[in-house]
A = this chain, B = another copy of it.
């Protein structure tokens, strides 16, 4: 038996979906089809959606679960009439909060996702372009402006993590690849010269060599680059370097980009320039 869940919002739907998925993830043995409906910002759209919910209920033979963050009371009224099990996030929490804060809340559509100040926008654009310009060791002369410099072997997750830090938190993240070019005479990986004076900004990434081989294989099948031997050796050298130089590091194998990024922030204490919305 499959049930359907609707995440409904008058804005992006990010909050409703993120909370809805977290809640429903606790019910592993129920199969739930999840549908996000953002920008339900008019009574007309609400009526159309209510019809979809009604036909879904008829088809499923079960009430859909409705998780919504709609602020406008007229729109909410229409959705409330649709057949469903309602998890009404805002009305559940806003009233007690109004009492606690001894003030009324502003039920204004879209306010929660307003872009904020021009400064936030500029910071974000800057950070994204900083990450791009300083991706994969392309440029090193801006490292004094970096908040953090990610290091690791090729394809261990440096680029997505740098970009996520930039987009979500406005953090200026550069990244630098550890390669065989930096082996010393005895065959041991040494800290690349350009990173020496920025040691306090370094954060290492590591990864299970089997996972790395699979990822590299997608890029260059059956190459030395994607061979198990090569991956084991590079990862071993990188981890040894982190330990020797006391560079904090994280194993990206089991973590999402969100987890990698937020763990780095938690561990280093670097300041976010702004916050996700």
Contact = CB atoms under 8 A, between A and B. Distances in A.
Contacts of A256: 113-116, 121, 277
A94 B27 CA distance: 10
Interface stretch (A74-82, A157-165, A177-185): A157-165
A266 B164 CA distance: 22
Interface stretch (A96-104, A189-197, A198-206, A240-248): A96-104
Q: How many copies does the complex hold?
A: 2
A184 to B, nearest CB: 31
Interface residues of A, number: 83
B167 A94 contact: no
Interface stretch (A53-61, A84-92, A139-147, A227-235): A84-92
Given A12-B262, A15-B19, A125-B215, A101 B160 contact: no
A122 interface: yes
B21 A18 contact: no
A239 interface: no
Given A39-B263, A105-B27, A21 B275 contact: yes
A14 interface: yes
A276 B19 CA distance: 11
A202 to B, nearest CB: 21
A92 B107 CA distance: 22
Contact of A218 (B22, B122, B124): B122
A38 B115 CA distance: 24
Contact of A93 (B87, B101, B254): B87
A51 interface: no
A17 B116 CA distance: 16
Given A39-B266, A124-B257, A125-B215, A14 B276 contact: yes
A107 B159 contact: no
Given A93-B23, A163-B163, A259 B18 contact: no
A209 interface: no
A274 B94 CA distance: 31
Interface of A: 3, 11-15, 17-19, 21-30, 34, 36, 38-39, 63, 65, 69, 71, 85, 87, 89-90, 92-94, 96-98, 100-101, 103, 105-108, 111-116, 118, 121-122, 124-126, 128-129, 132, 135, 155, 157, 159-160, 163-164, 167, 211, 214-215, 218, 254-259, 262-263, 266, 275-277
9 nearest interchain CB pairs? A26-B105, A22-B112, A12-B262, A25-B112, A115-B256, A85-B100, A15-B22, A15-B18, A128-B160
